[in-house]
Amino acid sequence: MKLNWNRSLVLSGAGLLVLGFTGGAGAMALTRPTVEMAPTVPTAIAKLTGSRGVVSVRGRVAEVYGDRFVVADSSGRALVDAGRKGVDMQRGSSILVQGRFENGQLHARYLIDASGTVQEVGPRGPHSLGEAPPPHGPGGPPPPPAGGPNAPPQACTMPLPPPPCGAGAPPPPVKTAATAIN
């Protein structure tokens, strides 16, 4: 069976399209972040040091330190990092914290209050909540001024040219009767 030129061209194009779609889908799957579900059963604070991955902790707010707070349950207390956004926590309020326990503190991702309201918070660091990073290079912000943002503007640092002297100097202007009237 002999295929004509047009049919083989169409089949080759279709094959390349299928190959491109498959490669694109594979690349997307590899570059997407993994989805992790928080456990529905809260972990006791005393058992956080042995936990890995995402954990849920239920307790009461014991102390508040700006964007951090201490949550306490019957087994112990843990420092919670609520991220750059900060949260308005009230001492004594009941809270469920979902996040990761690393370096001795719980890095919260979600806070659920007693009424069931979910508040998304995030780990510290720039661009951690889906914000686009600022542009760098051409089109980005200019570098900060030398001496800091409150430094006075710098004067021109180029030296003035020396005045001409000697035989090559131009003669001083001469006053004539025509220039004296004006």
Residue 148 lies in a domain: no
Q: Could you tell me which of 32, 114, 45 has the C-alpha nearest to residue 73?
A: 45
Contact 61, 89 (CB under 8 A): yes
- The CATH code of the domain that includes 90 is 2.40.50.200
Contact 88, 69 (CB under 8 A): no
Cβ-proximal residues to 129 (8 Å cutoff; 6+ apart), any chain: 83, 84, 85, 120, 122
How many domains are contained in the chain? 1
Residue 52 lies in a domain: yes
Residue 156 lies in a domain: no
Domain that holds residue 74: 45-120
Residue 88 lies in a domain: yes
pLDDT in tens, the chain (182 residues): 555 777 878 888 888 888 887 877 777 766 665 555 666 788 889 888 877 788 999 999 999 988 889 999 999 999 999 887 767 888 999 999 998 888 888 998 888 888 888 888 875 444 444 455 555 666 666 666 666 666 666 665 666 677 666 666 667 777 776 655 65
Residue 151 lies in a domain: no
Radius of gyration of the chain (CA): 35
C-alpha distances (whole Å) from 49 to each of 23, 78, 101, 167 are: 41, 10, 7, 88
Residue 147 lies in a domain: no
Residue 181 lies in a domain: no
Residue 174 lies in a domain: no
Side chain identity, residue 180: A
Q: Which residues pair with 9 in a beta bridge?
A: none
Q: Quote the pLDDT of residue 128.
A: 47
Side chain identity, residue 11: L
Q: What pTM was estimated for this model as a whole?
A: 0.49
